Structure 1
Amino acid sequence: MRRRLDQIDLRILTELQADGRITNQALSERVGLSARPCLERVRRLEREGLITGYRAVLDVRRLQSCITVLAQIALEHHGRHGRQLFERRLANTPEVVECFEVSGEFDYIAKLICPDIDAYQELTQGWIDDTELGVSRVTSNIVLRPVRDQAPTPLFGADQDG
C-alpha cells in the first residue's frame, strides 16, 4: 500500500533527488517549513521506505574506459524457481547496474557496464552456457552515448491513493 503524500512531502522528495547532500536548513527553506518539522518529515520518509538511500552519481565515462550495454534476456523456462535463480545471479553480478523484469518477447532488460566487449561477451556467454540458469537468448544493444541518464523519478501530484 502506498502512502499518501502532500505537496510538502513531494517537494522534499524532489529536492533530495536533485541534491541528496542539501543541508536540512536549506531543504527546509526550499520547501517552506522550519528546520525541525522538515527533518521529522525526512526521517519519516526514510523510515517508511520512500527514501531508500543516498549515493554519489558518477560519470563513469570520465572515470574509466568501459562500455554500457542494454541486454534483452529470454529464459527457456518461466517458473518461479528459474526466475529466482537467474535474479540472484544478476543481483550478485557487479556489472549489472539495473535490471527489470518485462513483458513481451524478452523476460528481462538489464543495463550492464563492462570494461570492454570481450568482458561483456564472456559474461553473457557464461549465462547461456549455465544450463541451470536457463538463458535461451541475449540480445545486446551497445550504448553509443547517453541522451538522458540518471534523471530524477517524476512525482505526480499530492494525495494520490495507492
Structure 2
Amino acid sequence: MKPRKLDAIDIKILTELQADGRITNQALSERVGLSARPCLERVRRLEREGIIVRYQAQVDVRRIQSCVFVLAQISLEKQGRARTSAFERRLREVPEVIECFEVSGPYDYIAKLVCRDLETYQELTDSWIDDAEMGVARVVSNVVLRPIRDFGTYPVFEEEA
C-alpha cells in the first residue's frame, strides 16, 4: 500500500489528535490554524481514508490491578502461510496479548502481554507450546521491570520535496 501524502496541516491534526483524542474541534482548529469547518472536514476525510483508525482511552492498568508485562519472542516450528495464519488467528483471540509483531531475525514474532501474574503467563505460553495447531517451538520471555517510555504517539513526517 502506497502511503498517502499529507500536507503540513494534516500532520498537525494527526499530531494533536494523538496527544489528545478528546480535543474539541474548535480547539483543534485553533491549534492547527484553520477555521472549525475545514478542520472538521479534514478530520472526517482522514477517518474515511483509514488514516485515523479509532479513538480510545489510554489506561494505566497498573493503577487498578496487579499485573506483569512480558515481552515474548516467539519461534514457530515451521514457516508457511497456513501455519502463520493459524498462529496469528489464535493470538488475536488472546486478550492478554496487547501487541504482536511479525519480525525478522532469530524469532518469528514479538508479543507484548499483560497477565495477572507470572504463573498465568507461564500457563498461557505453555498452552501455546502444547497446542500442535499453533506450531510454537519456543518462547523466550522478558519480564518488564518498569516502563521507561510506554506507548506514546507515532511521529508523522512531512514529505520531502
AA aligned to 1:80 is R
SS in 2 for 1:12: helix
Counterpart Cα distance in 2 of 1:67 and 1:18: 26
1:70 counterpart = 2:71: yes
Which residue number corresponds to residue 41 of structure 1? 42
Aligned sequence identity (%):
68
Q: Is 1:97 aligned to residue 130 of structure 2?
A: no
Aligned residue in 1 for 2:89: 88
Whole-Å Cα distance in 2 between the matches of residues 45 and 128 of structure 1?
A: 41
2:109 counterpart letter in structure 1: Y
Structure 1 stretches (4+) deviating beyond 2 angstroms?
none
Instruction: Structure 2 unaligned segments of length 5 or more: list them.
Output: none
Task: Determine the C-alpha separation between the residues in 2 that align with 1:32 and 1:3.
Answer: 22
- How far apart in 2 are the matches of 1:160 and 1:136? 44
Q: Deviation digits for residues 46-67 of structure 1, max 9, x if unmatched?
A: 0000000000000111111000
C-alpha separation in 1, matches of 2:113 and 2:89: 15
Task: Quote the offset at 1:2 in angstroms.
Answer: 1.4
Could you tell me which amino acid in structure 2 is paired with residue 19 of structure 1?
D
How far did residue 151 of structure 1 move? 1.0
Shift of the alpha carbon at 1:160?
A: 5.5
Q: How many residues align?
A: 160
Q: Is the 8 A contact 1:18 1:152 kept in 2?
A: yes
Distance 1:133 1:150 in 2: 28
Partner of residue 51, structure 2: 50
Consecutive unaligned residues in structure 1, runs of 5 or more: none
